[in-house]
Amino acid sequence: MKKLLLLSSIALAFFASCQNKKTETAATTAQYFGDTISEAGAIAADQLTTQMQGKDSLKVKLTATIADVCQKKGCWMNLNIGKDQTMKVSFKDYAFFVPKDAAGKTTVIEGVAFTDTTSVADLKHYAEDAGKSKEEIEKITQPEINIGFEAHGVIIK
């Protein structure tokens, strides 16, 4: 009986530690994914294009609104970065995912922004992940040059 109780306690502690970390306050609940980061020093995402001028990459912490999330696994998200632009965010080493229902929420991300060319094949793959119709996917015929982001830590509020 003691062994069963000990094993149950160990299993419970293990599964509890595997859950996404949440911090609750009276006003908001924050979820942390990947490395635990803070909001301190984050800049608004609409400042990123200015910060990126003349650079191939930039270590940065941003705050933005989530436009959409991969509906298959939560393995990427698009953030609004101003001027009707979005930026695709992937997660370092594919080590974590975000909730598929996070669109519209505010996020803080920390990692590396970079100038990126997204191939037609990747654009079609992302469109499929986002649940786009076959007609919309077939209209994708040109690669896109844009800003990408690899996050090592994410907070969703």
Residue 132 pLDDT > 50, yes or no?
Answer: yes
For residue 12, pLDDT beyond 80: no
Q: What is the pLDDT of residues 46-79, one digit of tens each?
A: 999 999 999 999 999 999 999 999 999 999 999 9
Model pLDDT, residue 142? 94
* Residue 3 phi, psi (nearest 5): -65, -40
**Parallel/antiparallel/unpaired status of strands 144-156 and 85-91:** parallel
What is the structure's pLDDT at 66? 98
pLDDT of residue 126: 86
Does the pLDDT at position 104 exceed 70?
A: yes
Q: Confidence class of residue 29 from pLDDT cuts 50, 70 and 90?
A: confident
Domain 23-156 matching CATH 1.10.3470: the answer reads no
End-to-end CA distance of the chain: 43
Mean pLDDT across the stretch 5-25?
A: 43
Q: Which residues are CB-neighbours of 84 under 8 A, at least 6 positions away?
A: none
Domain boundaries, the chain: 23-156
Which range is least confidently modeled, 8-22, 54-68, 109-123, 127-141? Answer: 8-22
**Pairing mode, strands 106-118 and 85-91:** unpaired
pLDDT, tens digit, for every residue of 83-98? 888 999 999 999 999 9
Contact assessment for residue 145 and residue 115, using Cβ atoms and an 8 Å cutoff: yes
Kindly tell me if the per-residue pLDDT of 14 is higher than 60. Answer: no
Between CA 121 and CA 126 the distance in angstroms is: 9
